[in-house]
Amino acid sequence: MTAVLSSAPGPLQLLPTPEYGNGWLKIDDGSTVISLPRNNDPYNEIYTVRGRWWSMCEDYLINPRPSKSPPREQREIDADWAGFSALIHGKIKDFHHAIKEKYHHNTYAFFGSDREFKAYGTVCWRTTFQSIRRPPLPRPEKDVFNAKPHFYGELGETRTALYPGMSAGQTVPNEVFRISEPDEEGDGTVPHRSGIAPKEHTGIKSMLRVSVGHEPAYKDSAMAREFTLRSIVQIAQAIKGTSLDYE
- Total length of the chain: 247
Sign of the Cα pseudo-torsion (123, 196, 49, 76, in order): positive
In a domain, 82, yes or no: no
pTM (2 d.p.)? 0.86
In a domain, 1, yes or no: no
In a domain, 113, yes or no: yes
Tens-place pLDDT, residues 80-98: 999 999 999 999 999 999 9
In a domain, 225, yes or no: yes
In a domain, 42, yes or no: no
Tens-place pLDDT, residues 112-126: 999 999 999 999 999
Residue 134, pLDDT score: 42
In a domain, 224, yes or no: yes
Are the CB atoms for 138 and 233 separated by under 8 Å? no
Tens-place pLDDT, residues 148-198: 888 777 888 999 888 766 555 544 457 889 999 999 999 999 999 999 999
- Phi and psi, residue 57, nearest 5°: -120, 125
In a domain, 245, yes or no: yes
Residue 162, pLDDT score: 82
Per the structure, the complete domain to which residue 241 belongs is given by 103-119+186-247
Go through 146-184 and write b for each residue having 16 or more CB atoms within 10 A of its CB, e for each that does not: ebbbbeeeeeeeebbbbbeebeeeeeeebbbbeeeebeb
Structurally, the chain folds into a number of domains equal to 1
Residue 132, pLDDT score: 39
In a domain, 198, yes or no: yes
